[in-house]
């Protein structure tokens, strides 16, 4: 299978969450320049290209070299698409390199992709047995196994509690360190899942005991929250007036960052609001973003793709306000 058929098959294997909703909210100027900061397997990019004119341009990033390789044929076939191997926290540098000052839309589809979860060798999933890696970009950074080989009980507890909301974080951390001190450090996904299963005595029906631990370690290893914060800090100088920002998150901490970012630019900060109550105020605050939507997947989408159940989409439009 080759050409468009091959790309369509890849898109079906990786079910893009909130595909139509995200593209509809993102799309404005059909001749414009758009940023897909998380290419994945190209579901959103492909749908966006289908609705843009021949004069438009899409710049797609991904930190995972396998995602870049999977999109190489699409990029070669469509000159409107430029595919770049880079984390989305560096999208400003990428735009500078490509000579792009501002874009008409930005899309961030956060979290881990289905191919990363489904490929056992990547070490993201407790289903199967593989080296405990979890890096989205396996060419750099430390693995989950390396973190567990050196981290203290307190450090492991903090990661599992803060990023996984794991109630048994301390018990799991203690068990992992005790095993390491016996000369048996955890280095494989099946080993980690077994340790968690012994340490966690109860769990929500239908959820594997290791779910929260694997999620927390993945977020930590890939510095996912720091990456998101760095990316959001670059949005306002790079988003054209009238342009749209669309973010799909799968974790409450991610969604909280996005919600706060939009709210901060959509209304004056508290001190500014207090100052504007004074009779002789000057330089009033002008909103730079307008919140457009907060969406969740439909029941039908969740039935078809269980991984969509925690997704939250937030969208906002750039106004000619402060910082424009």
CATH code at 197?
1.10.150.170
- The pLDDT mean for the chain works out to 90
Q: Are 216 and 229 found together in one domain? A: no
% the chain with pLDDT above 90: 78
Looking at residue 11, its pLDDT comes to 39
% the chain with pLDDT above 70: 88
Task: Name the E strands within 12-171.
Answer: 33-36, 57-62, 81-85, 103-109
Mean pLDDT of 249-277: 81
Q: Is residue 68 part of a domain?
A: yes
pLDDT band at 10 (very low <50, low <70, confident <90, very high): very low
Mean pLDDT of 45-60: 97
Does the structure show a pLDDT above 90 at 283? Answer: no
Mean pLDDT of 10-29: 81
Mean pLDDT of 276-301: 79
More confident residue, 119 or 34: 34
Q: Give the CATH number, domain containing residue 230.
A: 3.40.50.150
Looking at residue 117, its pLDDT comes to 82
Q: Quick one: 320 exposed, middle or buried, by C-beta within 10 A (0-12, 13-18, 19+)?
A: exposed
Q: Are 213 and 72 found together in one domain? A: no
Distance CA 209, CA 205 (A): 10
pTM of the predicted protein model: 0.89
pLDDT digits (tens, 9 = 90+) for 160-174: 999 999 999 999 999
Q: Phi and psi (nearest 5°) for 199?
A: -85, -30
Least confident of 66-70, 201-205, 219-223: 201-205
Distance CA 246, CA 232 (A): 11
Our count of domains for the chain comes to 2
Q: Are 251 and 314 found together in one domain? A: yes
Q: Is residue 144 part of a domain?
A: yes
Looking at residue 285, its pLDDT comes to 65
Mean pLDDT of 248-264: 96
Q: Are 261 and 304 found together in one domain? A: yes
Contact 186, 179 (CB under 8 A): yes
Q: Are 176 and 199 found together in one domain? A: yes
Q: How many CB atoms lie within 10 A of CB 150?
A: 10
More confident residue, 284 or 29: 29
Looking at residue 58, its pLDDT comes to 98
């Amino acid at each position: 299978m080759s050409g468009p058929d091959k790309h369509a098959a890849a898109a079906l294997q990786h079910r893009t969450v909130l595909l139509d909703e995200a593209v509809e909210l993102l799309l404005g100027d059909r001749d414009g320049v758009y940023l897909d900061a998380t290419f994945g397997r190209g579901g959103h990019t492909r749908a966006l290209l289908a609705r843009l004119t021949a004069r438009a341009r899409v710049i797609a990033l991904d930190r995972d070299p396998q995602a870049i390789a999977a999109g190489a044929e699409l990029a070669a076939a469509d000159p409107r698409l430029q595919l770049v191997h880079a984390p989305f926290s560096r999208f400003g540098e990428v735009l500078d390199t490509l000579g792009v000052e501002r874009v008409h839309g930005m899309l961030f589809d956060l979290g881990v992709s289905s191919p990363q979860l489904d490929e056992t060798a990547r070490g993201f999933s407790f289903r199967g047995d593989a080296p405990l890696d979890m890096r989205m970009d396996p060419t750099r950074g430390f693995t989950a196994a390396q973190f567990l080989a050196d981290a203290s009980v307190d450090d492991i507890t903090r990661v599992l509690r803060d990023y996984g909301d794991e109630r048994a974080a301390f018990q799991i951390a203690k068990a992992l360190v005790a095993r390491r001190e016996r000369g048996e450090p955890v280095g494989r996904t099946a080993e980690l899942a077994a340790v968690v299963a012994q340490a966690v005595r109860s769990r929500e029906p239908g959820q594997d005991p290791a779910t929260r631990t694997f999620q927390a370690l993945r977020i930590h290893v890939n510095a996912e929250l720091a990456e998101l914060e760095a990316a959001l800090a670059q949005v306002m100088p790079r988003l054209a007036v009238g342009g749209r920002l669309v973010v799909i998150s799968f974790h409450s901490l991610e969604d909280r960052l996005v919600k706060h970012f939009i709210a901060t630019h959509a209304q004056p900060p508290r001190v500014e609001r207090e100052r504007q109550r004074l009779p002789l105020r000057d330089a009033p605050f002008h909103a730079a973003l307008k919140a457009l939507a907060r969406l969740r997947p439909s029941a039908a989408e969740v039935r078809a793709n269980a991984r969509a159940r925690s997704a939250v989409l937030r969208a906002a439009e750039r106004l000619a306000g402060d910082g424009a």
